[in-house]
Homo-oligomer: A and B are copies of this chain.
Amino acid sequence: MRITSSIEYAARLMLTLAREHGKAPVSAESLSESDGIPSDYVSQILVKLRRAGIIQSRRGSSGGYSLSRPPAQITLGQVVRAVDRDVFEDVCGKYDAGAKDCRHQERCSLSPVWVRLGGVINDYLESVTLAALLQEKP
Q: Which residues of A contact B (CB under 8 A)?
A: 1-5, 7-8, 11-12, 15, 35-36, 76, 80, 84-85, 87-92, 103-105, 107-110, 112-114, 116-117, 120-121, 124-125, 128, 133, 136-137
Kindly list chain B residues whose C-beta atoms are within 8 Å of the C-beta of A1.
1-4, 7, 80, 84-85, 87, 121
A105→B36 contact, CB < 8 A: yes
B90 touches A8 (CB 8 A): yes
Does B133 contact A124, Cβ atoms closer than 8 Å?
no
* Copies of this chain in the oligomer: 2
With A36-B107, A121-B117 already in contact, the answer to whether A2 and B90 are too (CB < 8 A) is: yes
B7, B88, B91, B114: the one contacting A5 at CB < 8 Å is: B91
Chain B residues, CB < 8 A from A90: 2-4, 8
Distance A4 CA – B91 CA, assembled complex (angstroms): 6
By the criterion CB–CB under 8 Å, are A137 and B109 in contact?
A: yes
Residues of B within 8 Å of A110, CB to CB, are 8, 11-12, 15, 133
Q: List 19 A-B contacts (CB under 8 A).
A: A1-B1, A1-B121, A2-B85, A2-B90, A2-B91, A3-B91, A4-B90, A5-B91, A5-B103, A8-B91, A8-B110, A12-B107, A15-B110, A36-B104, A116-B124, A117-B121, A117-B124, A120-B120, A120-B124
Which residues on B sit within 8 Å (CB–CB) of A87? 1-2
